[in-house]
Amino acid sequence: MRALRLIADRQIELADLPDPPPPGAGEVQVRVKAVGLNHLDVWGYRGMAFAKRKLPLVVGAEASGEIVRTGADVTGLKPGEKVVMYGAMTCGTCAACREGRDNLCENVGGIMGFHIDGFARDLINMPARLVIPVPTDVSFRDAACAPIAFGTTEHMLFDNAKLKPGETILVHAGGSGIGSVAIKMAKALGCTIITTVGDDAKAEKAKALGADHVINYKTERFEGVTRKLTAKKGVDVVFEHVGGEGFNGSLLCLKRGGRLVTCGSTAGPTVTINLMQLFQQQYKIFGSFGCNMRNIRDSLAKMAGGMAPIIDSEFALADFEKGLARLEGRQVFGKVIINF
């Protein structure tokens, strides 16, 4: 079978590997059909000094596919069924796993495609408990956006920030994979959405998605515009995944008692916070990473209900690095998909 492996920092090779053995008890074998790219893939590709992992490593952290075989003791999943896979090897037995808080597993074996072998290969054996059926009218391409882009956003907005109808939200980088999903989910809830983009062409696209106000952060200071748009009151929620110098600007955008939820730091992981401002303004800051299985099921149900992901571009397996280059260069509007 074909498999894309990271062999060194910034070096990916298309390898020919033996097919996996027949699925064992409690396992299913999945033929991968589409992989969604995320900034996690860019971090893995560039190399991270602190990440515990061994190369070569099969890349790909988010995918959809079709079940080809089932092992013994598998119920509820059949060959031919369209599925997505949870992207972290959770234990399934700790308190967090048993309570459905999968992304807080106490014995997690690693993030697939980052710490351990991922999905960019023709066939993979997965524990059936980490495989989720996809509604028939959702395409492989769209379903491939459920485990990370949709699931992460769902977890951030609803489990962490507890976004409510009628609230005002600032969504950073509305053209990014998760930013574009956040706009759609907040709009569906009836929120007022302010978003940031890096160029005017993206501004038009963000408006078309449902953003009420779009700020080009390269030509205007987003915190000043946001305060003006909210009559100096600030927003209820900031959807943050950028970090860096903009982080304190994001805090300034919050209403007293407002919530900031963050899942990334593409502009830099280290910030200085004024604690006086934090407690006096009673801000709530949530760190969020990944999602649980329920978030993925809810995401697929939203897709089946018509909330399709925005697709920036699609590439063949051999052009995986071209897709990464689009993400790294911040050229994208929506998701980059690798088709098998």
| Minimum distance, C-beta of residue 265 to Zn ion, in the bound complex (Å) | 26
Check: CB of residue 3 under 8 Å from CB of residue 59.
no
Contact (CB, 8 A) for 307 and 138: no
CB of 100 to Zn ion, least distance (A): 11
Q: Return the amino acid letter for 297.
A: R
CB of 97 to Zn ion, least distance (A): 3
Contact between 88 and Zn ion by CB under 5 A: the answer reads: no
Q: Which is nearer to Zn ion, 129 or 205 (CB)?
A: 129
Query: Taking the complex as a whole, how short is the minimal distance between the CB of residue 177 and Zn ion, in angstroms?
Result: 27
Instruction: Give the interface segment with Zn ion, choosing from 19-27, 88-96, 290-298, 311-319 (CB under 5 A).
Output: 88-96
Name which of residues 24 to 83 contact Zn ion (CB under 5 A): none
- Which residues, including other chains, have CB under 8 Å from residue 81's CB and lie 6 or more apart? 66, 67, 133
325 binds Zn ion, rule: CB under 5 A: no
Least distance (Å) from Zn ion to the CB of residue 90? 5
**Stretch of 46-54, 87-95, 162-170, 311-319 contacting Zn ion, by CB under 5 A:** 87-95
Nearer to Zn ion, 78 or 98 (CB): 98
Which CB sits closer to Zn ion, 17 or 94?
94
Please, which residue, 97 or 229, has the CB nearer to Zn ion?
Answer: 97
SS3 121: strand
Give the footprint of Zn ion on residues 94-113 (CB under 5 A).
94, 97, 105
- 91 is a contact residue toward Zn ion (CB under 5 A): yes
Q: Using an 8 Å Cβ cutoff, are 114 and 58 in contact? A: no
Q: Which is nearer to Zn ion, 98 or 221 (CB)?
A: 98
Number of residues this chain uses to bind Zn ion (CB under 5 A): 5
Which residue in 119, 126, 33, 26 sits closest to 82, CA to CA? 33
* Min CB(102)–Zn ion separation in Å: 7
Return the range that interacts with Zn ion (CB under 5 A); candidates 42-50, 93-101, 170-178, 282-290.
93-101
Contacts of 103 (CB under 8 A, 6+ apart): 88, 155, 289, 290, 291, 292
3 state DSSP class of 220: coil
> Quick one: angle between helices 177-189 and 200-209, nearest 10?
40
> Binding to Zn ion by residue 130, rule CB under 5 A?
no
Of the candidates 23, 31, 129, which has an alpha carbon nearest to the alpha carbon of residue 75?
Answer: 129
All residues at 6 or more sequence positions from 60 whose CB lies less than 8 Å from its CB, including other chains? 4, 32, 35, 41, 112, 113, 118, 119, 120, 121, 338
Distance, CA of 89 to CA of 86 (rounded, Å): 8
- Which lies closer to Zn ion via its Cβ, residue 36 or residue 127? 127
Binding site for Zn ion (CB under 5 A): 90-91, 94, 97, 105
